[in-house]
Amino acid sequence: MKSLRLFSTLLITQGNSSYHVTMNQLEKASATSQPIYVGAETLSSTDVKIMYPEWFSANAALRRYDVFLSYRWSKFDSAFVQILFDRLTLYTVDSKAKRCIDTFLDEKRLRKGRNFQEEFANALINTRIVTPLVSQNSLMRLTRAAFVANIEDNMLIEWILSLECMCHTGTSLTNLRAICPVIMGQFNNGAISSLLDDKVFLSEISTEKPSESLAVARRLLELNNMPIDETRLSSYTVKSIVESLLHMNFVVVDNSMEYAKIYVLISEKIKQCLESHIEEELKAALQGATSAATANSGGGGGVGGLVPAATVFSQMPTLSLIEMSEKISKDLGLSASASASASASASASLPILSWLWSTKR
């Protein structure tokens, strides 16, 4: 029995016949232990889990994510991010480990019986890239005519948390490294208009302070041990939050783009951005590890450079210490003798680095 993954449908072949099985059918079989009938064969829930484990790994809750998809629940936006989520699962990052991009989509990752806001806040703070879908549809409830300040807005809360986390990027407080918005107007007759060209609509965005959303964001930041800058937090208005994202214009969709290729463009840009940040983190971690290893082998005993590297090493479990030192020599242009010295130092520091390895998920 051969299979090919096609977004949310599995194509299963039996001899000369082919059958489509949806992701929902697989999830139902796994959750309820009900079998799936495919042609002449019967797949039990155990068979499904063994044969297609990658389908379920994309839906499990994780400690850390590469990409967080933020969007307004609605017919078009929900369908758009679902396809984008499926598309991202087809990509791999990390040339060594070749692992899939771990993407957070609330409908896929959030666990039943848990606090919805606390769960997405924790996921966002522990994500490398947040991708807000800033569409005309998502902003309709943020216009002067529709916005209500004393009603919390989960999408707006996610955007506030993203902006706050970016103020602490590069620290141990958050894993967030970039906000990469996808900006689009309305979908009509197979084409998407440009949101940035609709000046009249953008001028209608509310200038009020989103008081209830700010209160929730403050609580979630405190819950995750994030420092609160009251002056900055109190300065947010709906308009300033939206404009901050619009100025980032990571991907601006307009009617000049072929609709079917938009997902490919967005996914590839996210992958490039992600790989760039992973490489930067790895290089910084390797430099810190080498300095600490050299100090330790010389009796200095310093380990200060190791702690910030924990999140990087947790994503790079397949690299040996010798390979790390060899990569240092390549990245930093060290001589062969310096590389050999770094390798020896790295080997000597195994007890110090063992703590880092224990942090991998």
In a domain, 267, yes or no: no
Other C-beta atoms closer than 10 Å to the C-beta of 350 total 12
pLDDT value for 169:
92
CB 7 within 8 A of CB 14: no
- 116-130, 189-203, 259-273, 311-325 — which is least confidently predicted? 311-325
Residues 206 and 94 in one domain: yes
Is 311 or 46 the better-scoring residue by pLDDT?
46
Paired tokens of 65: 């994510």
270 in a structural domain: no
Question: Would you say residue 17 lies in a domain?
Answer: yes
**For the ranges 186-200, 308-322, 328-342, the one whose mean pLDDT is highest:** 186-200
Please state, in angstroms and rounded to a whole number, the distance separating the CA atoms of residues 133 and 84. 11
Q: Which domain holds residue 212?
A: 59-257
| pTM summary value | 0.68
pLDDT digits (tens, 9 = 90+) for 253-309: 988 888 888 999 999 999 999 999 888 888 887 887 777 767 766 544 444 444 443
Q: How many CA atoms lie within 13 A of 308 on its CB side?
A: 16
Quote the tokens at residue 215: 């209160």
> In this prediction, what percent of the chain has a pLDDT beyond 90?
45
Burial class (CB in 10 A: 0-12, 13-18, 19+), 221: buried
The CATH number given to whatever domain includes residue 165 is 3.40.50
Residues 87 and 117 grouped into a single domain: yes
Average pLDDT of the chain?
Answer: 77
In this structure, is residue 263 part of a structural domain? no
Do residues 157 and 305 both lie within one domain? no
Tell whether the model's pLDDT for residue 345 goes beyond 50: no
Is 304 part of any domain?
yes
Q: What angle do CA 258, 262, 268 make, to 5 degrees?
A: 135
Phi first, then psi, for residue 161 (nearest 5°) are -60, -40
Residues 310, 345, single domain; the answer is yes
The encoded tokens of residue 357 equal 């390895």
| Together in a domain, 150 and 35 | no
Mean pLDDT of 94-118: 76
Residue 265 lies in a domain: no
Are 8 and 74 contained in the same domain? no
In the listed set 39, 56, 73, which residue is the last one of a domain according to the structure?
56
Residue 324 is predicted with a pLDDT of 45
Assess if residue 67 is contained within a domain.
Answer: yes
Tell me, yes or no, whether 243 and 95 share the same domain.
yes
Distance of CA 31 to the CA centre of its chain: 26
Strands (E), 209-263: 251-252
pLDDT for res 337: 44
Q: Are residues 115 and 226 in the same domain?
A: yes
Considering only residues 357 and 153, tell me which one the structure prediction assigns the higher pLDDT: 153
283 and 194 both lie in a single domain: no
- 297 against 310, higher pLDDT: 297
Are 122 and 196 in a shared domain? Answer: yes
Burial of residue 353 (CB within 10 Å: 0-12, 13-18, 19+) is buried
**Are 49 and 71 found together in one domain?**
no
Cα–Cα distance between 229 and 225 in angstroms, integer?
13
Predicted confidence (pLDDT) per residue in 28-73, tens digit = 666 666 777 777 777 776 776 566 655 555 555 678 999 999 999 9
pLDDT at 125: 96
Q: Is the model's pLDDT at 357 over the cut of 60?
A: no
What is the spatial distance between Cα 23 and Cα 5, in angstroms, rounded to a whole number?
Answer: 10
Residue 245 scores a pLDDT above 50: yes
Q: What is the pLDDT of residues 190-215, one digit of tens each?
A: 788 999 999 999 999 999 999 999 99
User: Do 76 and 154 sit in the same domain of this protein?
Assistant: yes
- With a cut of 60, say whether residue 332 has pLDDT above it: no
**Is residue 331 included in any domain, yes or no?**
yes
* More confident position, 19 or 124: 124
Query: How many domains does the structure of the chain reveal?
Result: 3
